Amino acid sequence: MSCRSLRLALSTCLFFITSTLAHADENLAYTWQGIERTAILHVPPGAAGKPVPLVIVMYGSDDKAASFQKTSGFDAVADREDFATLYPEAIDSFWSFSGKKPLVNGVLVDDIGFFRTMIDDLTGRGIVDGARVYATGFSLGALMTYTVACAMPDRIAAIATVSSAMNEAQVESCKPGHPMPVMMINGTGDEVQLYDGHIRPFGRLLSVPETTEYWRRIDGCSGESAEKLPHLNEHDLTRASLVEWSGCKADTGVELYRIENGGHCWPHLAAPAGNIAVDGPRFGGCSRDIETPAEVWNFFKRYKID
């Protein structure tokens, strides 16, 4: 069995086994910029009482932390792999990534300061291992994830983004860039955050190839390989491939899950309950060949800050 096939098998098992352990969630609240900022912290029972890795999970537009906690599927992976998950709440459901800045009390929202505050609190309380903090996000949450990577390379060990490339303003503000392990999942048929890039109200969205090339250069990767993944569902009109860049400096890596005909979605091995249609008219096909949180964690667990 190939390494990729083994990973897929493990991801499949990880997704379908049902946990019988009770969740232990904590509603966090911090005063930041004169207002209350909140987040949901999930610490699996097996991870309690010791510093564990932390995955910060950021939702897309028109969503909420509690909703994305349920639909992302990360807690099921966390319960089996003994890491914590953190779901921050954005201001007006919009993250303060480069090129778009929400206001609070007449000043720019400082999401980076809010994230640093949460990480400091959780590491200070001995809940989180400060060398193994990761960030991931969907759509606008993916854009915020790039900003976190650029602004906090001292705190973030690796990132993973779903359904968005970087925007031009982020690349400009990220210079000089720092080596960072980066995993991306993008559909070629995404009509919201186009695979080939487009002009948005918050500036030009780079194409996915431009974004992977940016991180390849920053990470100093010299090799590239591509592999088609097993097609698991005959009703799934998408096809998934994994592109990996190797020979990277500072023990980093770059990966892209390229979903042919894939739309603006968070891929799961099985459709969410009540979701009958595999392909939607606006958001496009959603791959059933990978389980996003399992693959993201498989990537994250290779890395830590020295």
Give the DSSP letter string of 95-132. Answer: ---TT---EETTEE--HHHHHHHHHHHHHHTTSEEEEE
Amino acid letter for position 205: L
In a domain, 305, yes or no: no
- pLDDT at position 175 is 82
pTM attached to this predicted model: 0.89
- 261 three-state secondary structure: coil
- Would you say residue 281 lies in a domain? yes
Sequence-separated (6 or more) residues with CB below 8 Å from residue 194: 205, 207
For the chain, percent of residues with pLDDT exceeding 70 = 86
Q: Which range marks the domain in which residue 109 is found? A: 3-300
In a domain, 306, yes or no: no
**pLDDT tens per residue across span 197-237:** 998 776 799 999 999 999 999 999 999 999 999 999 888 88
Q: What is the domain count for the chain?
A: 1
Least confident span in 17-21, 152-156, 193-197, 288-292:
17-21
On whether the CB atoms of residues 196 and 207 are closer than 8 A, the answer is yes
Q: Is residue 198 included in any domain, yes or no?
A: yes
Residue 277 lies in a domain: yes
CATH number of the domain that residue 41 is part of = 3.40.50.1820
Residue type, 169: A
Under 8 Å between Cβ of 250 and 274: no
